[in-house]
Amino acid sequence: MLSLRNFTIFFGLLVVFHNVAGADFDPLHHSGAASPYFDAPAAAGVPLELPDGCVVDQAAWFVRHGSRYPEPGSFTGWEALFSKFQNATYIARGPLSFIPSWNLPVDNEPHQPLFLSSTGAGEAFALGVELRKRYGLTKGGDNITVWTAGQQRVVDTATYFARGYLSAGNYLDDPSSNRGTLVVLVDSATNTTFADSLTPSSSCPAYGVFGGNGSTTSDAFRATFRPAIADRLNKFLDGLVLDANDIGVMQDLCGFGFEVSGEHRFCDAFTENEWLDYEYAHDLNYYYGSGPGNPLSATVGHPWVKAISDIFAVGPGNAIQNGTLIPPPLIMGFTHDNNVPPLISALGLWNSSKSFPLPITKLESNRQFRSSNLVSFLGNVALERMTCDQVFVRVLANNAVIPIPECQSGPGASCPLEMFTEYVNGERKRASGDFVERCGLEGVEGAVSNVMFLTTVGDGDSVLVGLD
């Protein structure tokens, strides 16, 4: 089986790190949102393998796009660092001996920033292959409908996923033979569909008020460790001085440089503790920006969870009440990083440990919320409807089973479907509140609190995966 765990090997990108962090420590598993996809470690000792006698008959995945080139703003920082390295006369030693000859890993500047990289395309294709084999929910020759936010890198991720899932070709002489359908929904910048969206946070004004707390807390924490790293690394330089901002760019270039071009030398330059601090800054950013530390996070995540709960309640092959279409047994939605943590909040996960809320002045090692295990490239939250002697639901995040604290009496710490439905519509609904009301949208024309696109034919543009 081609699993995401083996993706790096499959695409020939595996590099064995012999660095100051130690051979058993992989910085790419601690780079937050800059991490290429990897399977998260098992949580609470619960294995991914299905319990004996159980079969998944329906599943829903909510997925960040695959690895990409940098945002234009980040790329400006890369260019500034490259210029600093190129326009000085200096001697570099030890872990920094490579920087005089280092080049930017972007060779098509007008196009590449913002767009999916080849690694991202491979991640998405591999996910399609894995889920086809794991679930067996789509017979050969059948189609699948996939929902995606409208930005190009997200649409491309959905396209490569569908090609991997269907083994779909490009039937140039017979376009009618092309298989797979994308339903493209409006993206963040133009989202006027409110909760009925894959990017609901962008149309919740109250959510945005708190969203800035993520960058504020993470920047404050970065200020506590970056200067010391600069002091350490400057000992390997004569004639050039790194500052705290340079350190931030260099650490970002570990994950990005590796997924774009296989570059790993920036990964090698930092110690294990320095990577753990870097990761924790990402954790603070997402926890307080879009996760449980944002009081509107559960509000924007609950509509999707509620929609999937309703679909699971009627079971595969059935339409919910007032629905105009039957969802496929595998429900796939592709989106952006900040839209994934709200699902964790809506489900009431990763907020029951002693580290809730996350401390903002010092690293908390005994924490549940880790951005690297959730919002890596292709990071995801999945719900599986699991039929055993009865029907259960389990939650995955980056392929790790996450037990629901209040409901884990089923096989493999799963939740009985009836109890899951009650949990979503009761306790979690009360905690999340109504989208329109809590977002301050009363009286706004068209504002809705429910996800309807999964069960209702809408205005999204349907696009064949195959090329004609």
Q: Catalytic amino acids?
A: 65, 337
What residues does 82 pair with on adjacent strands?
none
Q: CB count, 10 Å around CB of 355?
A: 16
User: Amino acid identity of 161?
Assistant: F
- Spatial CB neighbours of 159, under 8 Å, sequence gap ≥ 6: 124, 182, 465
H-run or E-run covering 163: helix 152-166
As a dihedral over the C-alpha atoms of residue 337, residue 338, residue 340, residue 346, rounded to 10 degrees, the angle is 170
H-run or E-run covering 129: helix 118-135
What is the chain's alpha carbon radius of gyration, rounded to the nearest angstrom? 22
Q: In whole angstroms, what is the distance from residue 211 CA to residue 297 CA?
A: 9
Q: Distance from first CA to last CA of the chain, Å, rounded? A: 30
Query: Coil, strand, or helix at residue 67?
Result: coil
As a dihedral over the C-alpha atoms of residue 228, residue 230, residue 235, residue 241, rounded to 10 degrees, the angle is -140
Q: Is 408:296 a contact under the CB 8 Å cutoff?
A: no
In order, the DSSP letters of 283-334 are: HHHHHHHTSTTSTTHHHHHHHHHHHHHHHHHH-TT-PPTT-SSPPPSEEEEE
Tokens read off for 180: 């797979």
